[in-house]
Amino acid sequence: MITNYLSNSIVEGGKAPVFGTPADEGLTYDDVEFEASDGVTLRGWLVRGGADKIIVQSHYGVQCSRSGYTPEGKGRPLMWRESIPFMKHVRWLVDAGHSVLTYDTRNHGESDTGTCEWVTWGPEETKDVLAAVQFASTHPDYPDATIGLLSICMGAASSTYAFGEPGGLADNNRIKAMIAIQPLRYPDFIKALRLDNFVGRRVTRRNNERTRMDLDAITFMDHVHAINVPTRLVQNSNDEYLNRRSIEEYFDALTVEKDMMWLDLGPKRAAGYEYLTKHPAEILSFFDDHL
């Protein structure tokens, strides 16, 4: 029973409701949906700003949706005591002249269940990033827009995988910059949870059975070299799940113009996500320089 409980906390989707709408921030938007390559329907919002720049936002996993994070229905312990509403930083992006495509990853929010019904920490969700960027690239209202990627945690992992995919993001010359916030490798997360032990090995075996992949072995780190646009990497230096060596390896593997932004926040991972919503200019100004 404990194995399934812990496995659910790591790979079970459906825990992240969509709350509010962009209208709560006075934003104009369209409800949109589009299909990934395996036929999974994804749903999101196209928040209307300028026509020449569009940001594709990919959120973090399990406890998040396009809206951000809410503690509602999460149980204990909570990742964060208060809601982290992503529309706060989306408002900043729109005011800066960007449109924003924000969507629910498969198995999250209002998007459909994936062909794999479990969260895979990036490999399956890569299809969603590719579909979202394709949707933005071919939208008739944005024929000449440059694209920026705002990729958060699992979103950063998925985007990194997507650059390494044949015919993937590296071949899309509309993409001009990426901000990757707190990418996290599965083994680092397991170690931070103190599950690098007998119980943890049982949990990982269960996760591997469910996702049909070896989560300990597969890694987005093998694809960092394929990123071919200027990239800002953002990380809370006090993140409870931080493996500093992994972040430094990610940064060192980047062969493009790059920027490492260390935040000095409280010892919670979600502190970095809240910082994005409360101090968006400090993180997102990177787009102003490259889009």
**What confidence score (pLDDT) does residue 257 get?**
98
SS3 annotation, the chain: CHHHHHHHHHHECCCCCCCCCHHHHCCCEEEEEEECCCCCEEEEEEECCCCCEEEEEECCCCCCECCEECCCCCCCCCCCCCCEECHHHHHHHHHCCCEEEEECCCCCCCCCCCCCCECCCCCCCHHHHHHHHHHHHHCCCCCCCEEEEEEECHHHHHHHHHHHCCCCHHHCCCEEEEEEECCCCHHHHHHHCCCCCHHHHHHHHHHHHHHCCCCCCCCHHHHHHHCCCCEEEEEECCCCCCCHHHHHHHHHHCCCCEEEEEECCCCCCHHHHHHHHHCHHHHHHHHHHHC
Domains and CATH numbers, the chain: 2-255+263-290 (3.40.50.1820)
Q: What sign does the dihedral 159-164-165-169 (CA atoms) show?
A: positive
**What confidence score (pLDDT) does residue 246 get?**
98
**What confidence score (pLDDT) does residue 76 get?**
65
Taking the CA atoms of the chain, what radius of gyration do you get in angstroms?
Answer: 18
Q: What is the pLDDT along the chain (291 residues), one digit of tens a residue?
A: 789 988 988 999 888 899 989 999 999 999 999 999 999 999 999 999 999 999 999 999 999 999 999 998 776 678 889 999 999 999 999 999 999 999 999 999 999 999 999 999 999 999 999 999 999 999 999 999 999 999 999 999 999 999 999 999 999 999 999 999 999 999 999 999 898 888 889 999 999 999 999 999 999 999 999 999 999 999 999 999 999 999 999 999 999 999 999 999 999 999 999 999 999 999 999 999 999
Euclidean distance between CA atoms 175 and 145, whole angstroms: 9
Q: CA-CA distances (angstroms) from residue 121 to 129, 147, 268?
A: 13, 24, 19
Cβ atoms of residues 147 and 56 within 8 Å: yes
> pTM of the full predicted structure?
0.96
How many C-beta neighbours within 10 Å does residue 267 have? Answer: 11
Q: Which amino acid is at 104?
A: D
Cβ atoms of residues 181 and 148 within 8 Å: no
How many C-beta neighbours within 10 Å does residue 161 have? Answer: 27
